Amino acid sequence: MENVFLLVALIATFAVIHLTQAEDHQEGFISLDCGLAPSEASPYIEPDTGLWFSSDSDFIQSGKIGKIDPSLPKTIKSYVTLRYFPDGIRNCYNLSVKQGTNYLMRFTALYGNYDGLNITPKFDVYIGPNFWVTIDLENRISGQSEEIIYIPRSSSLDLCLVKTGQTTPMVTSVELRPVPNEIYITESGSLKSFKRYYLTSSDIILSYPNDVKDRIWEPKFDPEWTQISTTLEANNSNGFLVPQNVLKTAAIPAYAVARFNITEELDFPDDQIYLYLHFSEVQSLPITESREFDIIWNGQHFDKTISPEYLKTTTIYSTTPVTCKGGVCNLELIRTTNSTLPPLLNAIELYTVVKFPQLETNENDVGAIRKIKAIYGLNRITWQGDPCVPQKFVWDNLNCNSTDTSTPPRITYLNLSSNGLEGTIATAIQNLTHLEKLDLSNNNLTGDVPEFLANVKSLMLINLSRNNLIGFIPQALLDREKEGLQLFVDGEHRCLSGSCVTEDKIPVKTVALVSSATVMVIIVVLVLIFVFKKKILSSSEGILLPPPSIKLGANVTSTDVSEISIEMKRKKFTYSEVMKITKNLARSLGEGGFGVVYHGDINGSQQVAVKLLSQSSTQGYKEFKAEVELLLRVHHINLVSLVGYCDERGHLALIYEYMSNGDLKHHLSGKHDSSVLKWSTRLQIAIDAALGLEYLHIGCRPPMVHRDVKSTNILLDEGFTAKLADFGLSRSFQLGGEYHVSTVVAGTPGYLDPECYITGRLTELSDVYSFGIVLLEIITNQDVFDQTREKSHIAEWTAFMLNRGDIAGIMDPNLNGDYNSHSAWRALELAMLCANPSSEKRPSMFQVVIELKECLTSEISMKGNGQNMDSQSSPKVSMSYDTKDLPSAR
């Protein structure tokens, strides 16, 4: 019985030793069984290779699990599951690696008809921001496996699957194996495996554990060769660690006097090639025999004549890359005159050079933004891979200075507005040391405004409004304001809550004195108000009264005169002056809800547009008053300026600066006698209009809502600078606490925020919705309502076209494809975000301005670089819209 126990103990001991040795050999290995659920046995030992595999779920945040059809032929490893990515364009694994370590990376994709559709996928794989390889599984029933030898530039490695067509990217396994840094050295770039085989008549594919670095060696043999072999092991300690089973066999020419020749044809003729040849003499040669030969690679002699040593590995490799003429590479081994035996070869490796020119985003910035992502739980599908590059995959709500490929990009703009953020302001933000603009508005952030924000010296704008922050603004930030920092917060006097009130006790005597003084002040003020009111009632000069012909609304009565006065004598014109300015209403420019607009000039030097109130106008004195009062206190290059007004015996007129190029709608319609608006011009017009709205929302105190943003209210001057007009429906809205006022529904059907019909609430996001409709007009040149379309409303129609995949049919055909597709689709996506039926999902005008400027920059830079303008070559835009919530025709 004791012997049985002893035997069991010995077996267990040997098993542990074997397991420990296997783990030692696999140190630094990353082996991911993609799609393996964490609840299943993970990690596990793959039975054929002895490799430890684990689930990939901890290394990627997206994708779905599929099961390979078990009836398909078996491959090198026993693949059962896979991960596929139906959502998003780029999905990335993030792996922890040792910076500066040489890794052999292997990506394997076996379709296995997991979805039952028998449609094999085609997609691209990127390492970080750089393209590596295209996976095309057509006619590859056993899958496609790609290898590369790569040195990571940081401790974090992104491996990304990128959708390039209609099929769905997928992956079966991802493997990383560290290899010695002193081998596989290149002048530049990385080494993509092209061929690796050993010369044998066997059909056995060798990998781990035969190769401790898990390189895969395929067998290769030619009828013109003869195999020679040994059962003894060779010394393979030259650094390349070629497997013993590879070194035990070799090939020689079948005819002793013949040359040994191997030819390979490249997939891409212009590829540069590195060659590695492994030799080991497998025969113990008599003293009278010798084996010596020259190596000729693409017609060029290697410097050294080779005479392989018995059972000792020699590796000959190229130190500089070469190209093969016509993509055909040729290797010859030629026996020297001193040799009695033909040349031999044990194994060969061929690698093509892959250049990775784009540097990853600065490692500190990447670490900071990923920490911010984790703190706030921002699991966005677009927030994968490198944050800044390539530019077409920049994370949503980020901007970077990524134009120079020779330096790592830096994050310059972070917009997390309206993302439901909770907790305090993340300290990781201070690690974004090149950040210029930070928008954390409209969230649920709590706590103090941190002083560390003042330490980010590049910051020029911080928006913290509409949160639950408390306390005073740190003095360091106030000092930065004096240096030009724009700081947006809630509260008065830079105090964010009642917690700012000092709790120092005030002496009773001081309180009594202050109370007595206050009473005296109140009495004096009341007396002054009484006297002043009597004077006002005794004289009507300087007061703008409602004309007799216009009825006062329910909330404007004859006792409200003092409330509706407008102090503006210097801009008040008489009706006779208006007639003189317009030459007795000689030239009509158009007609709106207020009345007819006429051309005029003042003293023959200043052209103006004069809007006269018609008796049948749907707008009245209330709107007239609102527009005059607003234009008196707002001044912005993208708002039409008021030259003056007329209020005389029932005659109401508004006199504006003249906009010689009319309104945007007129230009888009093609009725104007000018050429079609270029795409870059349209983007600039959109930016101008957005800047005007941004000023009303942020620059005014109190902020203003336009309420009637539409293409006919966007006017163009002689240089096509766009300016907002028609402020008769504008209203102030409150900042802090409540962010809206209740109001009657007003505006233009089709442009009007659908939420207004339900809630009656007025917010700046109502203007954002209307602007989104205007932006759709700019992009598509479609009417806002068209009953002949399958979907009558422009937003509903655009969503319908996008869901059908008919993106090309959305763009204005008058552009004739003369636009950069990336900027066009970016603008389209922005327009649909603005026109979202839910106001919570709309961006602010501040965000809209930033995004539109990026679109224009992209358009200009791409055209300047001579990029392809064909809209059909555009990156695919993955957008899906639920049209049931979009506005219907009214």
Binding site for ATP, by residue number, is: 611
Q: How many C-beta neighbours within 10 Å does residue 254 have?
A: 12
Judge contact between 454 and 476, C-beta under 8 A. Answer: yes
CB 602 within 8 A of CB 578: no
* Torsion sign, CA atoms 596, 602, 604, 605: negative
Is residue 136 within 8 Å of 164, Cβ to Cβ? no
**DSSP 8-state symbol, 494:** T
Query: Within 10 Å of residue 574's Cβ, how many Cβ atoms?
Result: 13
Q: What is the C-alpha to C-alpha distance for residues 815 and 779, in angstroms, rounded to an integer?
A: 10
The DSSP element (H or E) to which 31 belongs, if any, is strand 30-33
Active site residue 708: yes
CA 474 to chain centre: 33
Torsions phi, psi of 364, nearest 5? -65, -40
Biggest CA–CA distance in the chain, Å, is: 135
The SS3 of residue 560 is: helix
For β-strands 714-716 and 437-439, DSSP reports them as unpaired
Q: How far apart are CA 753 and CA 761, in angstroms?
A: 10
Give the tokens for residue 503: 């709790």
Q: Could you tell me where the DSSP H helices lie in 805-880?
A: 821-834, 845-864
Tokens read off for 868: 């392809």
Question: Which position among 158, 708, 753, 812 bears the catalytic label?
Answer: 708
> What does the alpha-carbon distance between residue 110 and residue 172 come to, in Å, rounded to a whole number?
6
Amino acid at 169: P
Please compute, for residue 655, the number of CA atoms within 13 A of its CA located in the half-sphere on the CB side: 23
Neighbouring C-beta atoms of residue 31, cutoff 10 Å: 22
Tokens of 73: 């032929």
Tell me the HSE value of 377 on the side-chain side, using a 13 A CA sphere.
5
Would you say 410 and 362 are in contact if contact means Cβ atoms under 8 Å apart? yes
What lies within 8 Å, CB to CB, of 423 at 6+ separation is 375, 376, 445, 446, 447
Residue 778 — φ and ψ, nearest 5°? -60, -40
Feature table: binding site: 611
Please state, in angstroms and rounded to a whole number, the distance separating the CA atoms of residues 198 and 645.
Answer: 92
Query: Distance (Å, rounded) from C-alpha 663 to C-alpha 665?
Result: 6
Provide the edge-to-edge strand list for the sheet that holds 293-297.
260-265, 328-335, 293-297, 300-301
Q: What is the Cα 214 distance to its own chain's centre?
A: 36
CA angle (150 as vertex; 129, 268 as ends), nearest 5? 80
| Residues 257/238, Cβ–Cβ less than 8 Å | no
Residues 6+ apart with CB under 8 A from 459: 435, 436, 437, 438, 453, 480, 485
The CA-based angle 31-36-39, given to 5 degrees, is 115
Q: Are 316 and 306 in contact (CB under 8 A)?
A: yes
Helix H or strand E encompassing 173: strand 173-178
Residue length of the chain: 890
Active site residues: 708
